[in-house]
């Protein structure tokens, strides 16, 4: 198989083991302690991981900002895992645009909203077939999105295998329904970020919608929600 995604049920069964392997605080003295490598946003780092090994990273980020974490230039099969602000590497966070857990040397990426000032990332070498795999990891802020206005629908489309990012200013504590209708392909996925909480639609459902209530924040600036049609469809 080339370029496809690993089956999610199989992935779920191994996540606890992966998290344990990636944990910097692992007390199992039979395993080497992993060294945390600091990343700088906007500065790519080329690194390598041994077969069956793991690498862990941290990047200073700004709460409320959207970031895309990517792994490119793979020479073997490594997988990208995001742990959000969890420095113990024990709890994975969902990606808003999820391009992770692929077979072979397919590049992987995860787009998410930071709800913390330090982001923790893991690279898993369980499926590396050679002795080591080389890759380039990078954290970038997502600086462009299509701005929506409340109660103003827009027609749009997304390319096969692509994604589109939208944002809309809303009022904390008020409930909103976010929807995509008139789908020409029900495989399109709608993800809505209610703060750092991610709501994900069923792949075969059409239309797709969520009702969310943005959480109250200390800031007086408008809260921003975002949504991503993820797969092949025309809206």
For residue 29 the two structure tokens come to: 């003295």
**Sign of the dihedral defined by the CA atoms of residues 50, 41, 94, 36, in that order:** positive
Express each pLDDT in 37-91 by its tens digit. 999 999 999 999 999 899 999 999 999 899 999 999 999 999 999 999 999 888 8
> What are the domain boundaries of the chain?
8-141, 146-234
Which among 30, 52, 217 has a CA at the least distance from the CA of 126? 52
Express each pLDDT in 155-171 by its tens digit. 888 877 778 888 888 88
What pLDDT score does 50 carry? Answer: 94
In the chain, the DSSP E strands lie at 36-39, 45-50, 54-60, 66-72, 79-82, 97-99, 108-113, 118-124, 132-141, 146-148, 157-158, 166-170, 176-180, 190-194, 197-200, 208-212, 223-229, 233-234
What pLDDT score does 192 carry? Answer: 80
Which among 61, 71, 64, 66 has a CA at the least distance from the CA of 165? 66
Q: Which parts of the chain fold into alpha helices (H)?
A: 8-22
CATH architecture of 8-141: Sandwich (2.60)
């Amino acid at each position: 198989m080339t370029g496809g995604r690993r089956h999610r049920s199989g992935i779920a069964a191994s996540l606890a083991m992966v998290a344990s392997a990636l944990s910097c605080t692992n007390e199992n003295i039979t395993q080497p302690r992993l060294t945390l490598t600091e990343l700088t946003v906007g500065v790519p780092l080329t690194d390598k991981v041994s077969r069956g090994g793991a690498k862990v990273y941290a990047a200073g980020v700004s709460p409320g900002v959207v970031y895309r974490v990517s792994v490119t230039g793979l020479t073997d099969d490594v997988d990208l895992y995001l742990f959000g602000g969890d420095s113990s590497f024990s709890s994975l966070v969902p990606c808003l645009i999820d391009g992770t857990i692929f077979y072979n040397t397919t590049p992987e990426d995860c787009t998410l909203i930071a709800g913390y000032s330090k982001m923790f990332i893991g690279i898993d070498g369980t499926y590396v077939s050679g002795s080591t795999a080389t890759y380039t990891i990078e954290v970038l802020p997502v600086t462009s999105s299509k701005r929506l206005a409340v109660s103003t629908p827009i027609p749009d489309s997304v390319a096969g295998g692509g994604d589109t990012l939208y944002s809309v200013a809303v009022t904390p504590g008020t409930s909103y329904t976010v929807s995509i209708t008139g789908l020409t392909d029900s495989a399109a996925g709608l993800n809505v970020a209610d703060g750092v909480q991610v709501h994900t639609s069923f792949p075969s459902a059409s239309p797709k919608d969520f009702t969310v209530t943005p959480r109250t924040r200390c800031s007086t600036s408008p809260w921003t929600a975002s949504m991503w049609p993820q797969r092949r469809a025309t809206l």
